[in-house]
Amino acid sequence: MKDFLITEFGALNDGVFNNGPAIQSAIDAATAVGGGKVIVPSGGTFLSGSFQLKADIEFHLEKGARILASSDYADYLPEHSIDVITNNGVVEAVLPRRAFISAFQAHNLLITGEGEINGNADEFILERGQYIHSMRGPFGGRSQYLERPFTIFIIESNGVSLSQFTLRDPAFWAIRTTGCNNLLIDGIHILTDLMVPNADGIDIDRCQNVQIINCELITADDCISLKSCAGTAQYGVVENILIANTYMKSTSGAITLGTEACGDIRNVLVTDCTVEDSHRGFAVRPREGGTVSNVLFTNSSVSTRAFNESWWGHGEAIHVTASAWDDPAGTTDGNPERLLEGKVDGVRFVNIDVHSEAAILVWATHPALIKHVEFDRIDINMDSSSKWPPRLDLRPNGEVDFIREPHSAMTLINVESVSVINSKVTWSEKTRSNYKSALQLVNVEHFVQHNFQFESPTAQAALILTS
């Protein structure tokens, strides 16, 4: 594989010059000969506007190399618009979103090395908040939510591998992959400002056969999110996902399945992961009509606490909810899929060590949306550590956003076919009075309990609270 050093194509490491065209020239030169290794050398900072990676390219960041996203919206390529012919012959443009580093049909793409890709989030902050920042969009543009650039956006690309590098301070989602098959993300580090809204780590949209392993993810929003978005239905379901040996910390959720789930999400294994100091741990949260099924979380530890209401959640270690995003009886603002309810059918949590302020919540708008949920060998340690009053946070939910009441260690509402076996709850003596029961059941059908133990320094609440 031939090397293509970006400095040989005019790139300057002064942190001022826009190197987007020079980097693109190096990529295009490698593509012209059937592929190659495009190298960002160590030393200095290469400021850049957006550029597009191609098939059979290795984009390599040497140790000590730093590539910095421009803060000028004018330095970004026009928004992606991929024409897709639907079954009825209509041409639709999908994925109209801005990105710093993009790739489309870039099969066998590699992004490697121990260098840094920096999304320059600081320069996109309009106003620094106490708990969450306000971000800026371009003048005359849409809202900042729709305008900020993804740091890496890979579309319809198979055999992609991302390894070793650090992605720091994304201004929006750090990595989004859509319609990719055989994707490996191994040993990368994503480090965000913990108050930047929507600063997700890795968003997997309608991809198959994905491995996320050996990573460190410290992100403001979800560390890992599995989605099947409305505008990308041509890429099928999300299936065959492995998440393993990964460290996560988030102001929102560590792993979230299904917030945007117009299609199904299935066959997911999460194992040997560590979650620390996060607002939510493992969340299965289908909305928009999709079903999440055949999911196993196992051999992991989860530590959570509550944050400000600007962030969804309230310290749940495990969160399983199903509803519509908007009120199904109402209207929605240009997103009709948000009137559809999501479903859960087959999720297991096995051998999970929990240290939590709010422990476990399983809740559905009505029965039949959630069924076949198993808890096996869950060791729950309950302690209240934050200043925020208790709440069950059901967002996104157009019918009810919060239930403002104290937590139980396990709250199960409107659920069918649930088992809790070989599990235990231990309460902190200092904060036991802040909670209700060890197990709260409301409208639960086909419940199985075996060897469920709870330890309490007081006798304030019964084992099961039914209403």
- List the chain pLDDT tens, one digit each, 467 residues: 899 999 999 999 999 999 999 999 999 999 999 999 999 999 999 999 999 999 999 999 999 999 999 999 999 976 655 555 455 555 555 555 789 999 999 999 999 999 999 999 999 999 999 999 999 988 776 677 778 999 999 999 999 999 999 999 999 999 999 999 999 999 999 999 999 999 999 999 999 999 999 999 999 999 999 999 998 999 999 999 999 999 999 999 999 999 999 999 999 999 999 999 999 999 999 999 999 999 999 999 999 999 999 999 999 999 999 999 999 988 877 889 999 999 999 999 999 999 999 999 999 999 999 999 999 999 999 999 899 999 999 999 999 999 999 999 999 999 999 999 999 999 999 999 999 999 999 999 999 999 999 876 554 455 565 55
Q: Please count the other Cβ atoms lying within 10 Å of the Cβ belonging to residue 353.
A: 16
Do residues 279 and 147 both lie within one domain?
Answer: no
Do residues 314 and 177 both lie within one domain?
Answer: no
CA pair distance 24, 50, nearest whole angstrom:
9
Question: Residue 175: which CATH number?
Answer: 2.160.20.10
Do residues 141 and 43 both lie within one domain?
Answer: yes
Do residues 172 and 317 both lie within one domain?
Answer: no
67 within some domain: yes
Do residues 246 and 122 both lie within one domain?
Answer: no
Q: Yes or no: say if 5 and 26 are a contact pair by the CB < 8 Å rule.
A: yes
The pLDDT assigned to 84 comes to: 53
205 within some domain: no
For the chain, the domain total comes to: 2
445 within some domain: yes
Last residue of a domain, one of 147, 171, 199: 199
| SS3 labels along the chain | CCEEEHHHHCCCCECCCCCHHHHHHHHHHHHHCCCEEEEECCCCEEEECCEEECCCEEEEECCCCEEEECCCHHHCCCCCCEEEECCCCCEEEECCCCEEEEEECCCCCEEEECCEEECCHHHHEEECCCCCCEECCCCCCCCHHHHCCEEEEEECCCCEEEECCEEECCCCCCEEEECCEEEEEECCEEECCCCCCCCCCEEEECCEEEEEECCEEEECCCCEEEEECHHHHHHCCEEEEEEECCEEEECCEEEEEEEEECCCEEEEEEECCEEEEECEEEEECCECCCEEEEEEEEEEEEEECCCCCCCCCCCEEEEEEECECCCCCCCCCCCHHHHCECEEEEEEEEEEEEEECCEEEEEECCCCCEEEEEEEEEEEEECCCCCCCCCEECCCCCCCCEECCCCCCEEEEEEEEEEEEEEEEEECCCCHHHCCCCEEEEEEEEEEEEEEEEECCCCCCCCEEEC
Do residues 319 and 182 both lie within one domain?
Answer: no
Do residues 269 and 417 both lie within one domain?
Answer: yes
Do residues 104 and 245 both lie within one domain?
Answer: no
Last residue of a domain, one of 199, 216, 251: 199
Q: Which candidate, 115, 126, 109, 124, places its Cα nearest to that of 55?
A: 109
Do residues 310 and 433 both lie within one domain?
Answer: yes
Q: For residue 368, give Cα distances in angstroms to 188, 250, 346.
A: 39, 31, 12
Do residues 245 and 162 both lie within one domain?
Answer: no
The residue segments making up the domain with residue 21 are 1-199
Stated pTM of the model? 0.96
The pLDDT assigned to 88 comes to: 59
